[in-house]
Amino acid sequence: MADEDLQGLDEPGLRAEWQRLADRVAAANLAYHQADAPDISDADYDALKRRLAAIEARLPDLAALGPSAQIGAPPSETFAKVRHAQRMLSLENAFTGEDVADFIARVRGFLNLAEAAPLVLTAEPKIDGLSLSLRYEAGRLVLAATRGDGETGENVTANARTIADIPQTLAGAPAVLEVRGEVYMGHADFAALNERQTAAGDKTFANPRNAAAGSLRQLDAAVTAARPLRFFAYSWGEMSTPLGPTQTAAVARLAELGFKVNPLMRRCEGLEALLAAWREIEQGRATLGYDIDGVVYKVDDLALQDRLGFRSTTPRWAIAHKFPAELAWTRLLGIDIQVGRTGALSPVARLQPVTVGGVVVSNATLHNEDYIAGRDAKGSPIRDGKDIRVGDWVQVYRAGDVIPKVADVDLAQRPPEAVAFTFPRLCPECGSEAVREEGDAVRRCTGGLICPAQAIEQLRHFVSRGAFDIEGLGVKQIEMFFADDQLPVKEPADIFTLAARDAASLTRLRNRDGFGEKSAANLFQAIEDRRTIPFARLLFGLGIRHMGEVAAQDVARHFATWAALVESLDHARPAALAHRAADAAEDAERMAAAAEARRPRIAEARRAAMTAAQVTPAAQAAWDDLVGTDGVGPVLALSLSDSFANPQERGAIDRLMAHLTVLPPEARAKVSPVAGKTVVFTGTLERMTRAEAKARAEAMGAKVAGSVSARTDLVVAGPGAGSKAREAEKLGIEILDEDAWLRLIGA
């Protein structure tokens, strides 16, 4: 929500926008303070307030009317109201180091401090809880009140008395003393509370702050007593004698009186020291065991605080330097690998729970193995090349509803025993090889049919329209049968044993909900009809990665019989593995070359890998034939080879084949004079584009190839034809010009 667009508004426009914002802020205040259920994020709320302030800076009369003039919300009606003897103020917010520098400059300017004059401030974590004011008279707690709107709060004395951190009596305290601080709930207590709430069937809380607010504002103090609330004292209201000359001394006095005060509070001199404290506290956020949302800076000298005084709702001597709402640091406890429905292996970070933007985050995505290793898909460094290890201190990022992600890592806090993460090469679900194709950031399980993580997706694909297309067996039925105890379908072969298993079963399908005598019989007949299946549909139905309908037809046409395909794949396997080894060698060479800032020697690296693999000429020929098949390249060829070489997946295919008769592909029309011929176009075509020429040739049953070889039957050469035409001449291949070609195909 940028404020620049306000420049374009005239006064009525500004007033209308102000009203809209004021209503939104008022509603958010109500939801936050009374219902203990914020309806917008802190960051959005702060943005609204800033925009409101930007308008009020231009139209000052609005400032007194709207929510900026109030601190919180009017107290709810269920507790007795209490008027604070001294107003409970809120703090101005800073979001950047510049904001803090401005604050210091304002303080110095207001006090007219000489440039060399020291200015000491305190820095302390801003506890993300609920402000509470405790009034002690003659050393006895007589009143506890929430902040409410700053003027009037709620009397929660009975509830506050149940909080162990709040002393009932004070020894040696001023006769009148109002102690102010924050009621909060620790992470562990919050998690346990939510567990108890869940077990009891009660509502759970979104975050510790809501839980603390909801617990303190219970009408029955016995409920509050059962909630593990804590209290930090950090300030004061009315008092009969001062606690000390400085903020530091006064807080130390509160500790002496028996209050818990925050151990991270420190004195800082100058901007750099404040920002260093801020960074350090932010980094330690997740180890505190409770939520903080920023660092509060206060002028330490109380005499200076008095001189600085107050604006309408905020003191001039303090500011809250907020943390970015979406970022938090925490410990990476582990990396799990999840297998998606398409076989993708996704690394998931298991985190020490941390609140990010109002939500407790314990899992975050790590994207892929390159991301963990500190590089992008092209091998260039990300995060300055820092890798991520289990045990590391990591920064978690979360914005809106997106999945939280691990954004950064702090090497200074890496445990000495941390080791680089090894991304698994095997699918954790089925044990199949998980491979990464060239140009793919994701490693995928090759288990296909036999991978439980992919099973439903594979079965859905198997019965889809381009594949087996079994009537009555849609997505819904597949999901039903997959989970079924009586008639489970876990792999394609199970579909073809359904009828027999049903016949042998006591609880027949026809007696089930959603099935009758007729629909069960129809389903079994539809399955029966597919026992005879065209080669291409069967191949497509296996759901092999990259095997589309068109490629399946090409492969079917090339191999003609299923047995021929299987035999060829088995022969080609050693060459397929050598090809993969060559790919890996190429990657390694690229990395090494990049690291050494030299040109990669790719051809050499590949050659060395191929030589080492010692592939037989027969295997190489089978591989070349597969890769050279129309519509098949090395990527599909490898994927096809992997599927058939995976023993479990091969088992699933063989079990399926036991039920099937495969129809050979229909031969192409033989009437065309170019049917079955391999044609190469070269040079400039004048009567049609290259794409059109290719399409027409294929429509006539010809194969169009990109380069001339001994297998080429015909070369169509236009003007400017070069090496391809010469190669054809050398091989004695027939060469036609464009017109002759058009005459030949009868165009």
Mind telling me the catalytic residues? 126
Helices 455-462 and 475-482 meet at what angle, rounded to 10? Answer: 140
- Written as six digits, the tokens of 460 are 């859905």
Give the residue, chosen from 163, 451, 725, 733, that forms a contact with Zn ion under the rule CB under 5 A.
451
Stretch that binds Zn ion, among 17-25, 423-431, 554-562, 682-690 (CB under 5 A): 423-431
Rounded CA separation 297/148 (Å): 23
Rounded CA separation 361/333 (Å): 13
Question: Which of residues 189 and 642 has its CB atom nearest to Zn ion in the complex?
Answer: 642
CB of 458 to Zn ion, least distance (A): 11
CB of 453 to Zn ion, least distance (A): 6
Stretch that binds Zn ion, among 128-136, 155-163, 438-446, 670-678 (CB under 5 A): 438-446
Residue type, 154: E
Residue type, 396: V
Question: Which of residues 352 and 648 has its CB atom nearest to Zn ion in the complex?
Answer: 648
Give the CA count within 13 Å in the CB-facing half-sphere of 605: 18
Please tell me whether residue 499 binds Zn ion under the rule CB under 5 A. no
Question: Which of residues 42 and 429 has its CB atom nearest to Zn ion in the complex?
Answer: 429
Question: Which of residues 337 and 680 has its CB atom nearest to Zn ion in the complex?
Answer: 337
CB of 345 to Zn ion, least distance (A): 8
Select from 66, 72, 25, 62 the least CA-distant residue to 47.
25
Q: What is the dihedral of CA 407, 410, 413, 418, to 10 degrees?
A: 60
CA distances from 498 to 543, 657, 720 (A): 21, 15, 63
Q: Within 353-372, which residues bind Zn ion (CB under 5 A)?
A: none
x/- string (CB under 5 A) for Zn ion, residues 250-289? ----------------------------------------
**Residue 335: φ, ψ to 5°:** -125, 120
Question: Which of residues 427 and 619 has its CB atom nearest to Zn ion in the complex?
Answer: 427
Stretch that binds Zn ion, among 42-50, 441-449, 619-627, 705-713 (CB under 5 A): 441-449
Please tell me whether residue 153 binds Zn ion under the rule CB under 5 A. no
Rounded CA separation 126/683 (Å): 74
CB of 647 to Zn ion, least distance (A): 14
**Residue 110: φ, ψ to 5°:** -60, -40
CB of 566 to Zn ion, least distance (A): 22
Q: For residue 381, what are the β-bridge partners?
A: 375
**Residue 77: φ, ψ to 5°:** -85, -5
DSSP of 26-62: HHHHHHHHTSS--SS-HHHHHHHHHHHHHHHHHSGGG
Residue 11: alpha-carbon gap to chain centroid: 43
- Written as six digits, the tokens of 678 are 């391999």
Stretch that binds Zn ion, among 26-34, 451-459, 532-540, 711-719 (CB under 5 A): 451-459
Question: Which of residues 235 and 432 has its CB atom nearest to Zn ion in the complex?
Answer: 432
Question: Which of residues 629 and 641 has its CB atom nearest to Zn ion in the complex?
Answer: 641
Q: Which residues of 457-493 are buried (b: 16+ CB within 10 A; e: fewer)?
A: bbbbbbbbeebbebeebeeebbeebbeeeebebbbbb
Question: Which of residues 442 and 470 has its CB atom nearest to Zn ion in the complex?
Answer: 442
Whether 134 contacts 183, CB under 8 Å:
no
CB of 291 to Zn ion, least distance (A): 39
Rounded CA separation 444/343 (Å): 5
Please tell me whether residue 447 binds Zn ion under the rule CB under 5 A. yes
Question: Which of residues 127 and 427 has its CB atom nearest to Zn ion in the complex?
Answer: 427
Q: For residue 426, what are the β-bridge partners?
A: 433
Stretch that binds Zn ion, among 124-132, 389-397, 439-447, 627-635 (CB under 5 A): 439-447
Cβ-based burial of 44 (10 A; exposed 0-12, middle 13-18, buried ≥19): middle
Please tell me whether residue 442 binds Zn ion under the rule CB under 5 A. no
Select from 41, 327, 324 the least CA-distant residue to 206.
41
Whether 589 contacts 605, CB under 8 Å:
yes
Question: Which of residues 345 and 679 has its CB atom nearest to Zn ion in the complex?
Answer: 345
532-536-537 Cα angle (round to 5)? 60
Question: Which of residues 357 and 543 has its CB atom nearest to Zn ion in the complex?
Answer: 543
CB of 459 to Zn ion, least distance (A): 15
467-469-472 Cα angle (round to 5)? 155
Question: Which of residues 291 and 429 has its CB atom nearest to Zn ion in the complex?
Answer: 429
CB of 651 to Zn ion, least distance (A): 14
Is residue 328 classed as helix, strand or coil in its secondary structure? Answer: strand
In sequence order, the 6+-apart residues with CB closer than 8 A to the CB of 124 are 234, 262, 264, 265, 266, 295, 296, 298
Please tell me whether residue 427 binds Zn ion under the rule CB under 5 A. yes
CB of 637 to Zn ion, least distance (A): 21
Rounded CA separation 505/481 (Å): 14
Residue 250: alpha-carbon gap to chain centroid: 46
Q: Within 592-651, which residues bind Zn ion (CB under 5 A)?
A: none
Whether 715 contacts 725, CB under 8 Å:
yes
Please tell me whether residue 121 binds Zn ion under the rule CB under 5 A. no
Stretch that binds Zn ion, among 381-389, 450-458, 590-598, 711-719 (CB under 5 A): 450-458
Stretch that binds Zn ion, among 192-200, 430-438, 535-543, 659-667 (CB under 5 A): 430-438
Please tell me whether residue 429 binds Zn ion under the rule CB under 5 A. yes
User: Which residue has 């593995």 as its token pair?
Assistant: 577
Q: Within 42-101, which residues bind Zn ion (CB under 5 A)?
A: none
Please tell me whether residue 543 binds Zn ion under the rule CB under 5 A. no
CB of 694 to Zn ion, least distance (A): 39
Question: Which of residues 216 and 638 has its CB atom nearest to Zn ion in the complex?
Answer: 638
Rounded CA separation 375/683 (Å): 43
Please tell me whether residue 435 binds Zn ion under the rule CB under 5 A. no
What pairing do the DSSP bridges indicate for beta strands 359-365 and 393-397?
A: unpaired
Please tell me whether residue 430 binds Zn ion under the rule CB under 5 A. yes
Radius of gyration of the chain (CA): 37
Is residue 695 classed as helix, strand or coil in its secondary structure? Answer: helix
CB of 479 to Zn ion, least distance (A): 19
Stretch that binds Zn ion, among 224-232, 308-316, 420-428, 707-715 (CB under 5 A): 420-428
What pairing do the DSSP bridges indicate for beta strands 120-127 and 345-356?
A: unpaired
Determine the size of the site formed for Zn ion (CB under 5 A). Answer: 7
Whether 651 contacts 676, CB under 8 Å:
no
CB of 502 to Zn ion, least distance (A): 29
Please tell me whether residue 445 binds Zn ion under the rule CB under 5 A. yes
Terminal Cα-to-Cα distance of the chain (whole angstroms)? 63
CB of 229 to Zn ion, least distance (A): 48
Contact set with Zn ion (CB under 5 A): 427, 429-430, 432, 445, 447, 451
